[in-house]
Amino acid sequence: MSLQSRGFRKRVVAIVEPDLAPLMRLLGVNEVFEVFSETNILNVFNEVAVVDDIGVIITQKRLIEKIPSGVLEEINSKLYPIIVAIPDNVDDLKMSPVENYRDLIRKFIGFEIHL
């Protein structure tokens, strides 16, 4: 899967636990990185975040929580890649989508939108 528009082409990758990898492939994500341990998670994020043609990283919220804040700040300081964290526990699934993606909306629109 890729994002493209008149010369602008970025890939979409997924970094997920093995049980979610088949779903990502069914959704059309061609590059799925399966992670097993905290060390593996950090290594994969560090490798993927520096690749210039990756536009979106889809991952699970619990994996984001295992990454040191300094690494996340470095990734989020750039425009790309965008990290989209999928809620994956019961408490997160009870929250509205607006609450889950509020920070992402603020980053790319520049202000908060209330519907």
Domains assigned to the chain: 2-88 (3.40.50.10580)
Q: Supply the pLDDT for residue 15.
A: 92
Supply the pTM of this predicted model: 0.72
Place of tokens 């950090």: 42
Question: Do residues 101 and 111 touch, judged by C-beta distance below 8 A?
Answer: no
Place of tokens 């991952």: 59
Residue 32 pLDDT > 90: yes
Output the 3-class SS for 21-63.
HHHHHHCCCCEEEECCCHHHHHHHHHHHHCCCCEEEEEEEHHH
Q: How confident is the model at residue 65 (pLDDT cuts 50, 70, 90)?
A: confident
| DSSP state for residue 86 in the 8-state scheme | E
Question: Do residues 53 and 9 touch, judged by C-beta distance below 8 A?
Answer: yes
